[in-house]
Structure 1
Amino acid sequence: MDRVSQVIQGGYCIGCGVCPFVDASLAMRMDEDGKYQAVELSQEHSDIASRVCPFANGEYNEDVLGKEIFGSVSGIQHDDVLGFYLKTYIGHAVSGGFRDKGSSGGLVNWMASKLLAADKVDAVIHVKESSDGNVMYSYQVSRSVQEIQNGAKSKYYPIELSEVLDYVKNHDERFVVIGIPCFIKALRLLEEEDESIRNRIKYHIGLVCGHLKSSFFALAEAWESGIDPEHVKNVDFRYKLPDRPANDYAIKATGISNGKPIEVVKPTRELSTTNWGYGYFKYNACEYCDDVLAETADVTCGDAWLPGYQSDGKGTNVVVVRNSDILDLLEKFSSETQLEEVPSELVVQSQSSGVRHRREGLSYRLHLKDEAGEWRPTKRVSATDNIPRNRKRVYEGRIQLMNESFTAFHGAQESGEGMSFFVRHMGPIVKAYKKADNPLWRRIARKVKRILSGTR
């Protein structure tokens, strides 16, 4: 069995769409759980399919690729979490309405627009609302600031690159692409193999990533907000609430209810499916990824989940710059942003939960696979069970939460009970997970602290 087959058959496909672009024996399909997956049309695959797969090509990991891409850049540094970097910032866009329209500080789309304005690229490859009635969002090409802004905000939804790569292959233009870490890595691997793609994709803007969601996430959010899954049109996953902290946002779902158009705004704290730590509807591949900050991207942006920043509901970005052209861009248009250069450790701290899950947690998940005698991808962390017992229970609980969320959603559809079935099915699993994540010694310590401080 070759490596891309191991990825597909082992359930590690992230659905990026790069392997079918290079190998006609593979195709992309949406599976019964709402995830894009590569499908084997035959058992014979080219070697290139394995070389471009981000979960099959263990030799070209993010450290190796990063060194090849950025290692010779003057002033470059390296961090185990950030990868290679020139400078790290915290801030936001102040012009053009990018911050208001974005999920966070608006710097992703601001940078894309400035690459256009500086004549560095001709078009932007990013995710926008789809005209295909079967999916909400897809990768598309934009050529103006307005088109770019139409694709603003995070899309917690399955997407794939094969169709837009066909477009790049047939258009001799300069592109910047926006994507999550594994998608950017897949593109970098493809660029190692395909000169025309390498020459046309000039820049890569990475997004800090917790994990990729199946389409069930959007449908469940809308369903719990009062719109039946069959009648959901669109979900805005990061609808900003006035005068609320950045981490207290809402969704805005649109669709049809009782034969009439409906729009519902619902704070995520009122929905059972939106706790990111539960990992509902997560791609299994995400449990075997060790890149949180898109280490192979020219620049990475994410949320500044830090004291002093997340209280600002307008949103603030952390920024990791690896390409000197991006530094020049930030300097040229500095009046349009408010950026503070910060120590790299602060950016790492902003993503501490995700980093722990992708390093300590991954090492334990690898151990579980090895103990079961199952194939799994080669990663930069080593398999081990040498972690505290309660952390093992936490990571085991997250695997169960992920797997059971799909079972519960199918049950909600088949039972006719709707999301009440989902909540009831997941309730005991969530309770056990919370207990693991909040062990007895921690509860006792908190109680003692309250007693000593004179509170109840």
Structure 2
Amino acid sequence: MRSNVIEKIVNSDLCIGCGTCAGVCPQKALGIQFNNYGEYTPVQEKNCLNECGLCLKVCPFSDGNENETDIGTKLYGNIDGINYLFETGYYLDSYVGYAPNFRQSSSSGGIVTWILTTLLKNNVVDYVICVSPQHNPDQLFKFETFSDVNSVLNSSGSVYYPVEMSEVIQKVLKVPGRYAVTGLPCFIKAIRLATQKNRKLRERIVFTIGLVCGQMKSKNYTKYIAAIAGNDSLKKIQSVYYRGKSPDKPASNYYYKFIDEHGSQHKIFWNEGVSEAWVNRWFTPNACNYCDDVFAELADVTFMDAWLPEYSKDSRGTNIVLVRSPKVLNIIQEGIEKAEINVSKISVEKVIQSQAGVIELKRKQLSYRLYLAEQKGLKTPEKRVNASKDIGILKRREIKLKAKMQEESKQLFLGCYKDHALDIKTFRAGMNPYINQIRQLRLLGKFALPIRLIKKISKVEGKKNE
């Protein structure tokens, strides 16, 4: 008897909630719902008669499926001029810059919006699948399919909110056409796995656009940030904008803006409490602990923020673009010639440097998280990084503390959220012991660095005097 995705993935707390399994299920036996933590998970709506196992074959966190390197080799390995690095996967070229007409209205440099609208304007695709605001407090965002440029423009901007693809996948299966799909690394992997198993998806999804991702967040993350921003009733929130730009602040200190049913607005900047919840992994799904794909390796083109000193001070935002598809490369080059985008080439070393923090998280720290899970006897997906405890003692302590905060934030929120309002004081009281430990750890790290340097210098000088 074959198992399904609920038994193998959901019950092991490894589901990312992408919805691909429900989208491709031939018997429509699966649905997607929010769980108590504000995370999407599949639910069984009727008995699976044939037990085909397709739901597991398209799951990005299921064992037995090909990894990103194997799939990437099939997709891009034979392209003329292709390059490969373990950090980035395959790539043809890389650029940095912005799209002047879309920069201000976008979360970063606007090139994602430019390429999506260009694909539609030039009749390269018939439909674009991207995340769109819903003005519904119970579901603020969802994936939608658009055939017009204005709808794409209205969907511009980063979203740190759970979304799932079951409905749009079912639409691709029903409605013929050429589709471009945007998504995070794990979502793009699910799409690639699905196209391996379904001819219609393989023929109709002609472009994949990836976004670099450090972690996803639950629905409750947005509720928490809204609460500390000053929203009294979280039920009244109608829309959220996650990446507001201020001309007097660097691109890294953006703001979240919440608008309620009466049009009242509340704003909170990254440095005013957003960063605390983000970097300490509050409200992060467990599946994110086991992701090793930084650069959306299976996407035809991947976009990211230019988190480099020479660009991050510009409040208007700047994109880095990593291209894998020759067709996308041609589109980029035509955009340069027509002055639709203002970009220049950037070395892949700089691309990697721009995402150093995410690489540290998804490669070096992942090895220790796999080790910890192994020691606890927990199920983990097969990864390209081996389990290891070979990491500094301070870093080990930090990873353990953030793992505790990750779990505690989910549980504590449930006890502090009543009548669509969050008891921030009680929630903060529960999280503060962890925050204090993290602060002490960072302070210790500042002292440990010069001590290590002194020891290293002393060792070198000692050898010279021998």
Query: CA offset at residue 412 of structure 1?
Result: 2.3
CA distance in 2, matches of 1:206, 1:28: 23
Equivalent of 1:241 in 215, 237, 246: 246
Q: Does 1:403 align with 2:418?
A: no
RMSD value, Cα: 2.1
Alpha-carbon spacing, 1:295–1:444, altered in 2? closer, same or farther (3 Å): closer
Per the TM alignment, residue 440 of structure 1 is displaced from its structure 2 partner at its CA by: 5.1
After superposition, the C-alpha distances for 1:404-435 in whole angstroms (9 at most, x for unaligned) are 11123223214977222222211111111233
Structure 1 counterpart of 2:186: 182
Q: TM-score, normalised by structure 1?
A: 0.93
Identical-pair percentage: 33
Corresponding position: 1:219 with 2:223: yes
Give the corresponding residue for 2:319. Answer: 317
Alignment partner, residue 232 of structure 1: 237
Whether the 8 Å contact between 1:220 and 1:273 is mirrored in structure 2 is no
Cα shift at 1:375: 1.5
The amino acid across from 1:365 in the alignment is R
Residue ranges of structure 2 left out of the alignment (5+ in a row): 455-466
Q: Is the 8 A contact 1:86 1:321 kept in 2?
A: yes
Q: How many residues align?
A: 444
Corresponding residue of 2:343: 339
- Following the alignment from structure 2 to structure 1, what is the Cα–Cα distance between the partners of residues 224 and 207? 35
| Distance change in 2, residues 1:263/1:132 (3 Å) | closer
Q: With the length of structure 2 as denominator, give the TM-score of the two structures.
A: 0.91
2:460 corresponds to: none
Partners of 1:106 and 1:82 in 2: CA distance: 22
Q: Match of 1:22?
A: 24
**Are residues 74 and 312 of structure 1, via their aligned partners in 2, closer, same or farther at CA, if it must alter by over 3 Å?**
same
Show the counterpart of 1:426. Answer: 431
Aligned equivalents of 2:268 and 2:125: distance in 1?
A: 38
Residue aligning to 2:464: none
Please say if 1:74 is aligned against 2:76.
no
The letter for the 1-side match of 2:273 is: L
Is the 8 Å Cα contact of residues 137 and 239 (structure 2) preserved in structure 1? Answer: no
Report deviation, 1:221: 1.4
Kept after mapping to 2: 8 A contact 1:412/1:418? yes
Equivalent AA in structure 1 for residue 257 of structure 2: K
Distance of 2:355 and 2:445 partners within structure 1: 26
Q: Structure 1: which 5+ runs fail to align?
A: 450-456
Deviations along 1:234-293, whole A, 9 cap, x unmatched?
11111111221000111110114xxx4411222222225655311111111111100111
Give me the whole-angstrom Cα distance separating, in 1, the residues matched to 2:59 and 2:172.
Answer: 19
Match of residue 161, structure 2, among 132, 136, 157: 157
Aligned to 1:279: 281
Residue 68 of structure 2 is matched in structure 1 by 62
CA–CA separation in structure 1 for the residues paired with 2:356 and 2:443: 18
The residue that corresponds to 1:454 in the other structure is none
Aligned match of 2:458: none
Contact 1:272 1:423 in 2 (8 A): no
The letter for the 2-side match of 1:304 is A
Q: Is the 8 A contact 2:394 2:445 kept in 1?
A: no
Matches of 2:374 and 2:429, distance apart in 1? 33
Find the partner of 1:299 among 292, 301, 320.
301
